[in-house]
């Protein structure tokens, strides 16, 4: 059990800290690779959507039917858990201040030192801080999802961790750009971006301390159904719209299909 917990926590930590990768890319690249980000975000969405419907929701359904001893009730509980996860993540999105929306696409070019924007711009600094706060709140349930998935099925956990890590990279850019733009301080921008990703391992710790002791079939089924809902919402509300805002709509769909294909092959190989 100890090794599986350590693996699950390590995967969640890796996924969360990839916001720092986005920040580093922003500092050491002269231009945004929109083709790569569009394909990668689509790929991440494909992995999340496919694994949610084909693997996670099925596991949740089996666990809930077994726990309740009634197929009909188990199916109803699965649907309730799925849409409950969607409502949870939608409410988090709804109450995040608009100026800190982490879904707002930022590009590395926005940090061009030749820009006329003044340093110590309070409004931009506020935007970056709000974005970091929004991502921190948003990443907490993702940490729970990644941790519980990896704990139940390491292969599944790796796939979800990679998908979450990919989608955290542009979020790191979204924090770094306005903070650096306002302060011209790369260290401050990186620090805020890096710290915003720490809520994912914090979510993993919360899952370990609060959920693991009560992880019966019923609890597991409800959590997994909610995780599927969270993943689908993130894909449809964040990843695909963000990918298209990089002006590479077709590439995002190609990435989506590639992500589904890779996930399908992975599941078949490890069945």
CA distance 203 to 120: 33
Q: Quick one: tokens of 13?
A: 């930590």
Is 167 annotated to bind ligand? yes
Is 250 annotated to bind ligand? no
Question: Do residues 184 and 121 touch, judged by C-beta distance below 8 A?
Answer: no
Question: Do residues 43 and 194 touch, judged by C-beta distance below 8 A?
Answer: no
Is 200 annotated to bind ligand? yes
Residue 116, number of CB atoms within 10 A of its CB: 5
Residue 91, number of CB atoms within 10 A of its CB: 10
Can you say whether residue 69 is alpha, beta or left, with left for phi > 0 and alpha for psi between -120 and 50 degrees?
A: left
Instruction: State the Cα angle at 252 between 13 and 115, rounded to 5°.
Output: 75
Q: Quick one: tokens of 46?
A: 């494909």
Residues 6+ apart with CB under 8 A from 17: 194, 197, 198
Is 112 annotated to bind ligand? no
Which residue in 200, 203, 173, 141 sits closest to 13, CA to CA? 200
Is 142 annotated to bind ligand? yes
Is 238 annotated to bind ligand? no
Question: Do residues 145 and 227 touch, judged by C-beta distance below 8 A?
Answer: yes
- Binding-site residue set: 139, 142, 167-168, 171, 200
- Binding-site residue set for Fe(2+): 139, 142, 168, 171, 200
- Binding-site residue set for Zn(2+): 142, 167, 171
């Amino acid at each position: 059990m100890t090794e599986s917990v350590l693996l699950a926590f390590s995967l969640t930590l890796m996924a969360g800290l990839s916001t720092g990768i986005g920040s580093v890319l922003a500092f050491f690249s002269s231009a945004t690779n929109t083709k790569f980000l569009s394909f990668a975000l689509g790929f991440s969405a494909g992995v999340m959507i496919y694994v949610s419907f084909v693997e996670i929701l099925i596991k949740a359904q089996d666990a809930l039917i077994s726990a309740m001893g009634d197929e009909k009730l188990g199916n109803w509980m699965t649907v309730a858990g799925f849409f409950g996860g969607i409502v949870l993540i939608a409410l988090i999105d709804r109450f995040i201040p608009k100026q800190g929306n982490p879904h707002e696409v930022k590009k590395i070019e926005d940090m061009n030192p030749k820009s006329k924007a003044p340093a110590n711009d309070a409004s931009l600094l506020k935007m970056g801080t709000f974005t970091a706060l929004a991502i921190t709140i948003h990443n907490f349930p993702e940490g729970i999802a990644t941790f519980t998935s990896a704990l139940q099925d390491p292969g599944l956990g790796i796939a979800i961790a990679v998908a979450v890590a990919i989608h955290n990279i542009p979020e790191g850019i979204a924090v770094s750009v306005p903070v650096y733009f306002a302060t011209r301080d790369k260290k401050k921008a990186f620090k805020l971006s890096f710290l915003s990703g720490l809520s994912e391992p914090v979510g993993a710790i919360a899952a370990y301390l609060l959920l693991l002791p009560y992880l019966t079939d019923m609890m597991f089924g409800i959590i997994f159904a909610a995780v599927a809902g969270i993943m689908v919402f993130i894909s449809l509300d964040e990843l695909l719209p963000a990918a298209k805002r990089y002006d590479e709509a077709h590439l995002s769909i190609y990435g989506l299909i590639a992500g589904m294909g890779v996930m399908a092959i992975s599941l078949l190989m490890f069945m």
